[in-house]
Structure 1
Amino acid sequence: MPQSSGTVSAAAGRGKVLVAVDFGTTFTSVAYAHTAEAAGPHLLMSWGEGGDNTEGQVPTVLRYDNGEMSGPYVWGYRAQRWAQQSERIHEWFKLGLCDDFEERRARESELAKLYDSKTAKPPVKGEDCEKLVRDYLVGIKQAVDKKLGADEQVAAMERLYIITVPALWDYSEQEKTRTCAERADMGKGSEITLIPESEAAGIWAIKNMPSIEEGDAFVVCDAGGGTVDLTSFRVKSLSKNRRQCELVGAGAGSGGLCGSIFLNRIFEKYLEEKLQDYPSWDPDFMIDALGAFETRIKPNFSGRNRDAHFIRIQGLKPSPRHGIKKNFLELTDDELRVNVFDIVINKIRVLVRDQIKHTEGSVKEVVLAGGFGRNPYLKRRLQNLDCVVRQGIKVSEFEDSATAIVKGAVTASLYGLERATVAFDGAFNFMSTRRVGVVSRKAGRHYGTWGYDDYKDGDPIEKKYGALDDGLAVSRKANMMRRERRDDGVKVARMHWFAKMNDDIPNGEPQYYPYEKIAKVIPGKKAHEVCLIDIPIFVCEKRNPPEYRNDPNAWKITDFSLDLQGLTIPTIPHNGGRTRFYKANFEIEMILEATSLTFCGVYGRNTPDERRCPAKKVSFK
């Protein structure tokens, strides 16, 4: 019996549908959950116009009919089929959203230099990249609409999207992903949530790794197709039923361009070199070889198989010295290990080793996520790391490693939605019993400003500044124990790093850093004009930040000006009262969240004279 519209309307009011999209470099996955039911998350297994394959992932690729970037296009598995016919298509376009960072990673990546794609069009950036991302997400949304629209009750529910973003990207670049999702009609503003991929994986680990307990530190290694990213967490609190958990960051994240797609490229190059003098080789044979490598050899490679791998390629003529029998190519585990797998896995081992080294406290477990996370050989090589053996660290993998991040994103969004919900909608709501989230994170960079400070023994001579005629000085309040020298003496432009790399920053909670502005009173000039507070905010990604201004390792990401017009600014005497100086106490407010970072200048906080001036939008370029 068909449902009445009233029944559908009532069902729609009983909850929301949360749709998470793990927008990956090489593959994308989607999961969803209904807040009105206790089941889920559910994986999307059908991709509509993206292809008939019933898989939990779909290739992140595009192909336009005109061969460029306009007009009709296909995406996903349908686009991938064109690449299998040696046509160049758009791949890896996600990385163009953060081109500065990813270009730097590419320059530092030996694999990216040596093994480029033979099927990818030249990389794009800027508006061209955003168009590709938008078009791809349109395809994803259409597939979601087709699946969820088949159920009348579900189709009537409000739909909220969650998009995963790389944790190592800066916040303005992460925000580009939201913009592309908005243009793909996934929602507006707060209807779209961004979550770092590593945090989604960490949250899913708590749900699925019973060996992780309260107080434990663990490392998530997201071994994806294009990139490998690592993050460290510590379990701050964990309920017995594991449905309530708070995670805190235990180390700055790291990563590199050494994902499993490089295995395919290395394998292809190895075969070309191995068979370069094989007279009967046809370039079309490579399609069969790569297909077998991708589906059979790569996922299950252990490095211990005594039996050879046989790839059936119709048309091959026997050649014993090339390992070729009639219609079969023979490859041993040893040759694949040395010539293909070790080249990539050795890079991952270095990343994991360094992440363990820079994690606060003892690491109990390394959890492997991502499509390559279930590879037996990768797990074994990580288990054999000296630091893993010495410290007794467990190495484990998600049973569903390829889709762990997207499932964790749904779980995390349930926690976030529960915190934000203030009105009961009359529905059964299970979110209050499934509170899992990251409550604090490690600062991944140093943040600071600069000010004139007294010249000290040990300061470089070339950093000396002469006497300041107007006595302007900005100094950290904590450093005010020394005698101030305002209108005479020698100064140095010194950096003050108020938030340092690996500092614990509570999620979403304002942090305040006190400073003072000292300015000489000038007769006939208004106080607020003399005491205008102009503060630049700098960032440094090196572990040891520079001490002095104008260092290339530190660059400005934003600034603000505090205008104190209309306020009474206190003065202090100097030189026995013959000279007076304005002394304005103010604070730099910093709010760090998973995918946002903001600064604000604050004068007179929690007083009637409170004045706030938000900084400009943070940009890491």
Structure 2
Amino acid sequence: MASLPTRPPPPPPISISVSPAFPGTPKREVSPISTRRSEDDVDEWDAYDDPQDALLNEAATPSRTDSPPRFPNFSSANISTPETRMVVALDYGTTFSGIAYLSVASRQKDQNLDALADDIRVLQGWPTHESEKVPSEISYSPSPKGCRQWGYDIDDNSRVLKWTKLELEETRSRSSELRTLAETLWGMRLLDLSEDAVIRNDIPRHLAKEPEDIVKDYLDNIAEQTLEEICTQVGRRVADNIPIDMVITHPAKWSDKALNSTYRAVRAAFKADLFPKIRNFSFVSEPEACAHYTLREALREDRVNFRKNDCFIVVDAGGGTVDLASYKVVSLDLDQKQFKLEQIGYPIGDNCGATCIDRAFEQFIEQKLGPEDWERLIETDAQDQATGGHSIIKPKLRMLHGRFEGIKHQFDGKDQKLGFPIQLPRGIGTTDDEERGIMNGAIKITVDDLKTMFKHSVDKTLVLISQAATHIQVIQKLKIRKIFLSGGFGRSPYLYERVKAWGMTSSIQVDRGDDCWSAVTRGAIIKSLGVHTSLPPIIRPCPRHYGIKVRTQYAPYNCHRPSEVDVDVEGVKWATDQIRWFINKGDALFPGKPMVSTYDCHWSMRATHFPAQNGTGRAPAQNPGSVSQRFDKRGGGNIMPPPPPPEVFREVVFVASSADEPPTRFAAVNKGRDTVVTLKCNLTKIPDTNRSEFTNKEAGKFYKFWVKVEIHVTEKCEVKITSGGKVLASAEVLLGESDISA
């Protein structure tokens, strides 16, 4: 196993703000499976489970999005700011999401881009509600009232999926996967799949969906609402005929797996069917986008007194994450409201947003109510037992959360003797219990209770601020002038008071703008214009699927053909002729950063089939001074070196497919359209450190030869077979082409 990569050192200082959106590219390793050569009933391509695999990202799932046949240039120079185009920014959040957009006409090419940013519009017309953001919630439950079942417009008696964004980041261990499977199977056993349930359309579809699928379904609604807004404001003809560039925001600490899933979901939702001229997609970190808008507005409103080399910290406190970015003012023109920034280090963050307060609230309610009332509150009826591993909130608990929202948003930490009573749903907490704070069907929440609920989120936020401040003051030896609070959680009076109290200990001012909830989407537009900053790089979709021919453990329900089934020496039945895809069509390819997938495995071979000259199963080492003598017909003697030991080759079959739905069997590969490369590996070249032996009672002694398959995708695709750092075979495939160089 290759060691995990380390984060590179911070970039050198420059005079414009630079996006470090994806520092330290981690390798994406996938859990290995096994394959086998069908022509030999002993040689095997066996599974190898490395314990480190649990720490690494799983291979991405296939995308259904289309991609261009050839791979375009990665350079962002082809985004020409002065041209007629539209920029759309998406802030898909854990609890709320938002859209901002801006039309840039060609006649505005001589206009100051900073002034152009004043025309940024934020979508506020959501179904049934006017707001800068919409809840990141969706339901697959039927709605007798005809609700749209997403955002604000969800029927009261619905199962609602929330916090799905956090599931994109999760790297589940085998034990957690087994728990989810057991819970799902138990729930499915109790599901009501009767004819009446089918007629009611009350089938829990979320059980068959991955987090990425749910995000895509939710973003489908966002995309349609965005199109409706644009058509209303500028007309359908304009929307259909000018290029649209899209910038997507993401948390500071967001894995390649989560970025990839976000990219695929956004690209599938904002598709060409809705936006015929959509072209470029790019990423901007949430704290970076927030910083550009926040400082710009603070300067315009004369809320800052910065000098050159002063520093500030932007705290983007959202529903799921709290992200920080630090900047130094390189130059400043207060008269013209112009500035240049230099980012200090990398953005930092943690999963300590407002959802942690919501979870703490649920724990508080569970403790106060007791097990019986709690079970009634969360409605553990048979139909709802199965969650499929997703975060689901049911009607009664959802109602209680809605009542808690007002208390959470108003809480400022000040003492209130009466506390905060919250009405419980009907039928819960019917028995008064003064000790537990339950009276007349309501439960009282004290100031101390709320401080306990806020404690984790607020304390972790202060720790993050302290880390950023220490880096600036101690390591960089610079002065921090201000801390800017932004985001939905940033509007909390209690968080604001706590951060302000922390800042007073170091004479650091704390600022919070009136429109901090939409600062991220507005800032993303500013970033995409290149206002006082560099343009974000364009992300391109991977044009093909890349994988290898493998064998998988036999499963009767897969209906394998008899010719594709084999049994190894230990009696395990395997399905041969299968394909495992490691990198998928539509995956996000970041400029200057290869997408890498590795696969650890081994071949097995009888000891008698491997060349042996000394009884060990391995050709003996040659003495440099030894020679062998060969006599010719004339009786003369020629001194000749000994012949090399016989070579033993095994093959790895690499496949690249441009099909939207790639084949799962090698026999189904379209040889005329897809690329197939056979790499031959000489087992005698494998180092002794990567060879081991074992004995089977029935079949005798075997050798195992450990190898690693590495697939790298950049402007081309390279596949390598290595062992102990030594390359045994390699090949290169042009993206979208069938030409091979090996």
TM-score if structure 2 supplies the norm length? 0.46
Is the contact made by 1:215 and 1:234 (CA closer than 8 Å) also made in structure 2? yes
Partners of 1:396 and 1:124 in 2: how far apart? 44
> Structure 1 residues 241, 278: closer, same or farther in 2, change over 3 A?
farther
> 2:294 — aligned with what?
205
- Which position in structure 1 is the counterpart of 2:613? none
Measured after TM superposition, the shift of residue 257 of structure 1 is 1.3
- CA 1:31 to 1:169, structure 2 compared with 1: closer, same or farther past 3 Å? same
Aligned pair in 2 of structure 1 residues 152, 380: CA closer, same or farther (>3 Å)?
closer
Structure 1 contact 96–124 (Cα < 8 Å) conserved: no
Aligned to 1:44: 123
Question: What CA distance in whole angstroms lies between the structure 2 residues aligned with 1:560 and 1:31?
Answer: 31
2:165 to 77, 89, 94: 94
Mapped pair 1:31 → 2:125: no
Tell me the residue number matched to 1:293: 404
Q: Distance in 1 between matches of 2:375 and 2:264?
A: 47
**More displaced, 215-224 or 324-333?**
324-333
Partner residue, 2:486? 369
**Partners of 2:249 and 2:98 in 1: CA distance:** 10
Aligned equivalents of 1:23 and 1:439: distance in 2? 18
- For residue 449 of structure 2, the aligned residue among 303, 316, 335 is 335
Alpha-carbon shift at residue 218 of structure 1 (Å):
1.3
Cα distance change of structure 1 residues 193 and 244 upon mapping to structure 2, 3 Å threshold: farther
How many Å apart are 1:355 and its aligned residue? Answer: 2.0
Q: CA deviation digits over 1:229-249, x for unaligned, max 9?
A: 112111222332565332221
Read off the aligned partner of 2:410 and give its amino acid letter: N
* Alignment counterpart, residue 310 of structure 1, candidates 405, 411, 421: 421
Corresponding residue to 2:263 among 173, 178, 186:
178
String of CA shifts for 1:102-152, please: whole Å, max 9, x gaps: x69xx9xxxxxxxxxxxxx99999x93433333222211100111121245
User: Does residue 352 of structure 1 match 2:465?
Assistant: yes
Of residues 238, 245, 249, the one that matches 1:164 is 249
* Residues 330 and 171 (structure 1), Cα distance of their counterparts in 2 relative to 1, 3 Å cut: closer
CA contact (8 A) 1:220 1:367 kept: yes
Q: Distance in 2 between matches of 1:66 and 1:279?
A: 26
* Cα distance in 1 between the residues matched to 2:279 and 2:374: 59
How far the C-alpha of 1:379 sits from its partner, in A, is: 1.8
Aligned to 1:575: none
* Residue of structure 2 in register with 1:262 after alignment: 356
Amino acid paired to 1:77 = Y
Paired letter, 1:31: A
Percent identity (aligned) = 27
- What is the CA-CA distance between 1:409 and the residue it aligns to? 1.0
**CA distance 1:18–1:154, change in 2 (3 Å):** farther
Q: Secondary structure at the match of 1:167?
A: coil
- Give distance in 1, aligned partners of 2:440 and 2:714: 73
Instruction: Report how far residue 405 of structure 1 moved.
Output: 0.5
- Give the Cα–Cα distance (whole angstroms) in 2 for the partners of residues 156 and 394 of structure 1: 45
Q: Does 1:64 align with 2:174?
A: no
Q: 1:122 to 1:27 in 2, by over 3 A?
A: farther
1:238 to 332, 340, 356: 332
> Contact between 1:64 and 1:73, CA under 8 Å: does it hold in 2?
no
Deviation at 1:59, TM superposition (A): 1.9
Q: Deviations over 1:279-306 (max 9, x none)?
A: 8996276544321211x11112111142
Taking a change above 3 Å as real, the CA distance of residues 333 and 65 of structure 1, as seen in their structure-2 partners, is closer
- The answer to whether 1:20 aligns with 2:89 is yes
Deviations 1:366-414 (A, max 9, x none): 21111100111112222333xx344211222232222110111112222
Q: Is the 8 A contact 2:482 2:509 kept in 1?
A: yes
The 8 Å contact of residues 327 and 343 in structure 2, kept in 1 or not, is answered as: yes
1:546-604 per-residue CA deviation (whole Å, 9 max, x = no partner) reads: xxxxxxxxxx996999xxxxxxxxxxxxxxxxxxxxxxxxxxxxxxxxxxxxxxxxxxx
The residue number in structure 2 matching 1:218 is 312
- SS of aligned partner of 2:413: coil
Aligned 8 A contact 2:529 2:535 in 1: no
Aligned residue in 2 for 1:228: 322
The match for 1:393 is: 508
Structure 2 match to 1:379: 496
Distance verdict in 2 for CA 1:236–1:122, change over 3 Å = farther
Amino acid at match of 2:295: I
1:400-455 CA distances to partner (integer Å, 9 max, x unpaired)? 2221101111122222xxxxxxxxxxxxxxxxxx5455899xxxxxx9xxxxxxxx
* 1:179 match: secondary structure: helix
Match of 2:578 in 1: none
CA contact (8 A) 2:527 2:536 kept: no
Name the residue aligned to 1:323: 437
In 1, the alpha carbon distance for the partners of 2:464 and 2:207 equals: 28
How far the C-alpha of 1:46 sits from its partner, in A, is 1.9
Aligned to 2:36: none
What SS is found at the alignment partner of 2:102?
strand
Separation in structure 2 between the aligned mates of residue 172 and residue 59 of structure 1, nearest angstrom: 24
Distance (Å, rounded) in 1 between the aligned partners of 2:256 and 2:340 = 23
Distance 1:192 1:350, change over 3 A: same
CA-CA distance at 1:44 after TM superposition: 0.9
Q: CA deviation at 1:313?
A: 4.3
CA–CA separation in structure 2 for the residues paired with 1:258 and 1:122:
30
Matching residue's letter, 1:271: I
Aligned partners of 1:177, 1:286: CA distance in 2, in Å? 28
Map 1:544-555; keep pairs closer than 5 Å.
none
**Does the CA-based 8 Å contact 2:421-2:444 persist in structure 1?**
yes
Unpaired runs of at least 5, structure 2: 1-81, 109-115, 177-203, 378-394, 538-593, 595-709, 716-733, 736-742
8 Å contact from structure 1 (residues 186, 192) kept in 2: no
Counterpart among 121, 129, 144 of residue 53 in structure 1: 129
Could you tell me whether the CA contact under 8 Å between 2:168 and 2:257 is conserved in 1? no
Deviations 1:593-621 (A, max 9, x none): xxxxxxxxxxxxxxxxxxxx99xxxxxxx
Distance 2:373 2:206 in 1: 35
For 2:312 and 2:207, the matched residues in 1 are separated by 36
Counterpart CA distance in 1 for 2:415 and 2:495 is 14
SS of structure 2 residue aligned to 1:75: coil
**Letter in structure 1 aligned against 2:297:** N
Q: Return the letter of the residue paired with 1:218.
A: F
Q: In angstroms, what is the RMSD of aligned CA positions?
A: 4.1
Of residues 148, 152, 156, the one that matches 1:77 is 152
CA shift, 1:28, in A, is: 0.7
CA distance in 1, matches of 2:164, 2:424: 32
Q: Does 1:404 align with 2:519?
A: yes
Q: Matched residues in 2 for 1:320 and 1:66: separation?
A: 40
Q: Distance in 2 between matches of 1:123 and 1:213?
A: 53
Contact 1:311 1:330 in 2 (8 A): yes
Alpha-carbon distance between aligned partners in 2 of 1:218 and 1:438, rounded to the nearest angstrom: 22
Match of 1:534 in 2: none
CA shift at 1:97, angstroms? Answer: 4.2
User: Partners of 1:220 and 1:280 in 2: how far apart?
Assistant: 40
